[in-house]
Structure formats: C-alpha cells, structure tokens
Amino acid sequence: MAEQTEWRQKTKVWTYLIMAMLLVVIVVVINVVWKNPVRAEAGIKHFLGLPGWALASITAVVGILVFWGGLKVEPEWPEAFGAFLVAGAIAWFELIVGWNRFDLGGMVVIPYLIPLVVFLLMLAYALKRGV
C-alpha cells in the first residue's frame, strides 16, 4: 500500500511540474503574439504547408484523444497535456477567425480567458473523475 501512495505522490508532482511548464509556454506565446501579431498570424495560418484550420483541428483531436487516454491511466499528466492541446487549438482558432472578434463588449481579455477556462474546466473534470 505504501508503494501506491508513493507512486501517487510522484505522479502529482510530475503533473504540477508539467502544468507549470505549460503555463510558462502559454505566457511566452502570448508575449510573442502581443509583440508582433501580424507575423504570428501569418505563421499560424500556414505551418508545414497545411492551412491553419487543418493543423488546429489536428491539434484539437490529438488533445482530446490524449485527454481521454489520460483518464484511463493512473498518472495525471496526460490529462493536463491533452487539456493544454485542446486549449491551444482553441486559441489557434481564435487567431484564425480574428482575435478581435472575441473581445465581447470591448473586453480585450476575453480571447485570453476562453482557452484558459477550457483548460481549467478539463483539468477540474479530470481531477474529479480521478478521485
């Protein structure tokens, strides 16, 4: 029984480390997009020769599959990674459609909050289901 408890502790530590790294990546990407939105939008629309919507769709599907697979295993980091991919795909779609179309009521922070809320809701679901 002690080994199982020790394993759960290690997986929780890895989950939180991965979540912290993902949050740092999010901040860096937001900073790059904020400083040069035209270049970021052009880079996202055509990456690897595919249209941006196709890559965003692939990212969303892979994220959902990783999240779903993470619900079936003991470690919690696949769920966090899958949630991050889905939130990233949502942010990607926001850039493709037009970032300014999501600032409802003139609130510029809404486009940033939508992927973050999706990420947190998916993690909350995973944590509740894992208990």
pLDDT tens per residue across span 37-52: 777 766 666 666 777 7
State pTM to two decimals. Answer: 0.64
E-strand spans in 1-131?
Answer: 46-47, 50-51
Beta bridge partners of 47: 50
pLDDT score of 1: 45
pLDDT digits (tens, 9 = 90+) for 14-38: 767 777 777 787 777 777 777 777 7
Model confidence at 2, pLDDT cuts 50, 70, 90, reads very low
Place of tokens 């779609």: 93
- Which tokens hold the place of 66? 């990783």
Identify the CA nearest to 119 among candidates 1, 19, 36.
19
Residue 4 has pLDDT above 60, yes or no: no
pLDDT digits (tens, 9 = 90+) for 106-116: 676 777 788 88
pLDDT digits (tens, 9 = 90+) for 58-73: 889 999 999 998 888 7
Identify the CA nearest to 82 among candidates 19, 37, 20, 28.
19
Identify the CA nearest to 66 among candidates 45, 40, 89.
89
pLDDT score of 113: 84
Identify the CA nearest to 14 among candidates 84, 78, 110, 108.
78
Residue 55 has pLDDT above 60, yes or no: yes
